[in-house]
Structure 1
Amino acid sequence: MRPFVYTANPSRVIFGSGTINQLADEVKRLGLNKPLVLSTPEQTQHASSVEALLSSAGIISAGQFNNATMHTPLDVTERALALVKEKGADGVISIGGGSTIGLGKAIALRTDLPQIVIPTTYAGSEMTPIIGQTENGVKTTQSTPKVLPEVVIYDVDFTMSLPPMLSATSGVNAIAHAVEALYAQNGNPVIDLMAEEGIRALARSLPVIVDKPADPEARSDALYGAWLCATCLGLVGMSVHHKLCHVLGGTFNLPHADTHTIVLPHALAYNAPKVPDAMAKIARTLGTPDAVEGLNVLLTKLKVKRGLKEVGMPEDGIDKAADLAVKNPYWNPRPIERAGIREVIRRAWAGERAKADI
């Protein structure tokens, strides 16, 4: 067995159906008296439900901030911080997907306030010490334990209303975390097991959700898989797939989950020649002889968009994205070469079927 180092991130995870009812106990356990509730404008109703639940337990929140925004723009963070100060909030409760969780992390980074997170998608930010922030159209990331939530409450009930297409892309976003974990520079056997199980759970549940969105077993399976994949992302490094998605999302303001979904098979195709063991494991979890083709088949089943041009990226942005992607690259098993990276982006922009011939 290869030598390895395994370090687990500290976190408290509560998983199940109806687990939101444990929120007040967790607030009290952390010694919070006036938490601020965060959400996007679309999930204000969920934020109000959280406030009502706290109120019934005698906890008065510091109010709501409902303007969490994709890619965590700095100006939104500054407005939320002003409200934290004005209301004297002593913690944050983030209910939503990556946009809301990212805002909670941005607040924690600057204030050290404790976080309780209630994910409503499969994106996985809640399990990682990674934060991405956007300023002047440029998205940067950093990793620090300061942004790790203290408590994560996975309540399957909050994912039941997640639209089928968003469920699909959010789930593939989670799969991307596990795929890159399988060839991460600091990977280890424990992460490999979690990554394989996470991919397997999502690959079997997402097609069911697309056809039968209210299937409780599939929803539970998908959230379980998403937790495993997110845990992988939180414990090992990222490679070219995540670098590309950070560049594309931050530069062109593309939807996060769609971008991950479109780029994943092409990024894997780029790395395929250098990671035969990871390719074999991914293929096995997908039940196919070839990992790249297995992803192609899965995305076809999910009926998701396959081209960046479909989600708002201009064709004349391909070269700009390639230039940014090779600047300060993340570690990658295959050397980052501009010509190859440009071809990955071009194929992803055009919506071509991924092939490991780059």
Structure 2
Amino acid sequence: MTLHFEHVTAPQRVLFGTGRAAEKVAAEVKRLGAQRVMVIAAPSESVVAREVTAGVAVAVHHDDVAQHVPVAHAERARRVAENHAVDLVISVGGGSTTGLAKAVALTTGLPIVAVPTTYAGSEATNMWGSTEAARKTTGVDDRVLPIAVVYDAALTVTLPVELTVASGLNALAHCVDSMWAPRADPIDRAHAGEGIRALAEGLRRILADPGDIVGREQALYGAYLSAVAFSSAGSGLHHKICHVLGGAYDLPHAHTHAAVLPHVLAFNAPAAPEAERRIAVAFGSSSAVDGLEDLRIILGAPRALRDHGFTDDVIPEAADLILASVPPSNPRAVTAADLRMLLHAALIGEVPSMG
């Protein structure tokens, strides 16, 4: 089969080094010539954020962070940036923190230096999202792509194992979706396959020893690859489902991805044999679905959406909301009935099987 595709590589500096975040952040601020820096970090990350930015002249620290980036929070952060004449935003934290920095950049054009402390991957994409009136809106805009990312595995060591697992499976979901998302190409699939391998190795090592820096580095490396693949390939069925569930029902982002992923994989895999084979090989398994399930069992991964506030009575509404955004390129046609069955399986934490 001949190859024919178009791939765009996003312009971004990636600085990777354990224990060197403060040094690299200061160097980036100097390189960019920034004089008035806004640091965004949730209250739980405030100590880490101040340590990471110790060598930077900070104009304002901002901690009004909430998951799914509510529009009101975004507007307040933009006003803070304007009132302090900010010329650079530094985000220190997980996906919600990076998302708020992106909301500022979307309307101001301010550059972002992202310092991730989870495996969310938002720092390596040009995608943004916000929530208003129980609906999540997403978009793509090059203004929100951080100009630089500083990866330091030491910053993830205090992330509890349970959150590490959920966040890592969120990154795995980026990889899986990138196998068949609307713009998926061979480069995306190569990144995604290596991302799955690195994440699976890293998460297993972290579970055995939460302080294992090599495991943390592998997980961060895999999360970066997952985000690069996802940014290029676009949002597939899995992410369309999770965006609706997060925005409409305020479900926790990473846990929702972890619970939904196996069911989307089981649904799509029979219609995408090449992608299924790549995923299986990355897991070191004869089956993509079995490989993911084996990893989830080892990790004690989040399994049932009902554990996070989702209820059976809203499934019909959720299925209708999701159906409107299903990518036409999904390997398998999707009906409302399919989505109701998938959501029920994720609700109760059913063991997935290809069908």
TM-score when scaled to structure 1?
0.96
Q: Which residue of 2 aligns with 1:355?
A: 353
Distance of 1:341 and 1:29 partners within structure 2: 49
Contact in 2 for aligned 1:47/1:64 (Cα 8 Å): no
Contact in 2 for aligned 1:165/1:210 (Cα 8 Å): no
Larger mean Cα displacement after TM superposition, 293-302 or 104-113: 293-302
Picking from 306, 310, 329, the partner of 2:307 is: 310
Is 1:338 equivalent to 2:340 in the alignment? no
Picking from 94, 112, 115, the partner of 1:115 is: 112
Q: Which residue of 1 aligns with 2:69?
A: 72
Distance of 2:48 and 2:19 partners within structure 1: 14
Written as runs of structure 1 = structure 2, the 5 A alignment for 1:264-283 is 264-283=261-280
Written as runs of structure 1 = structure 2, the 5 A alignment for 1:150-299 is 150-299=147-296
Distance of 2:286 and 2:232 partners within structure 1: 28
Offset of residue 299 of structure 1: 0.7
Q: Which residue of 2 aligns with 1:6?
A: 7
Offset of residue 129 of structure 1: 0.8
Contact in 1 for aligned 2:7/2:185 (Cα 8 Å): yes
Contact in 1 for aligned 2:42/2:65 (Cα 8 Å): yes
Q: Which residue of 1 aligns with 2:37?
A: 35
Offset of residue 49 of structure 1: 1.7
Q: What SS does structure 1 have at the residue aligned with 2:137?
A: strand
- RMSD value, Cα: 1.2
Distance of 2:212 and 2:136 partners within structure 1: 36
Distance of 1:156 and 1:72 partners within structure 2: 25
Distance of 2:262 and 2:244 partners within structure 1: 17
Written as runs of structure 1 = structure 2, the 5 A alignment for 1:39-78 is 39-54=41-56, 60-78=57-75
Distance change (3 Å), C-alpha of 1:61 and 1:210: same
In the alignment of these two chains, the number of paired residues is 352
Contact in 1 for aligned 2:25/2:53 (Cα 8 Å): no
Offset of residue 164 of structure 1: 0.7
Offset of residue 351 of structure 1: 0.7
Q: Which residue of 2 aligns with 1:23?
A: 25
Q: What SS does structure 2 have at the residue aligned with 1:116?
A: strand
Offset of residue 273 of structure 1: 2.2
Distance of 2:236 and 2:46 partners within structure 1: 35
Offset of residue 327 of structure 1: 1.5
Distance of 1:313 and 1:193 partners within structure 2: 34
Q: What SS does structure 2 have at the residue aligned with 1:224?
A: helix
Contact in 2 for aligned 1:12/1:151 (Cα 8 Å): yes
Contact in 2 for aligned 1:129/1:144 (Cα 8 Å): yes
Distance of 1:113 and 1:166 partners within structure 2: 30
Distance of 2:325 and 2:220 partners within structure 1: 33
| Structure 1 unpaired stretches of 5+ | 55-59
Offset of residue 62 of structure 1: 1.5
TM-score when scaled to structure 2?
0.97
Offset of residue 52 of structure 1: 2.4
Offset of residue 208 of structure 1: 1.8
Q: Which residue of 1 aligns with 2:326?
A: 329
Q: What SS does structure 1 have at the residue aligned with 2:302?
A: coil
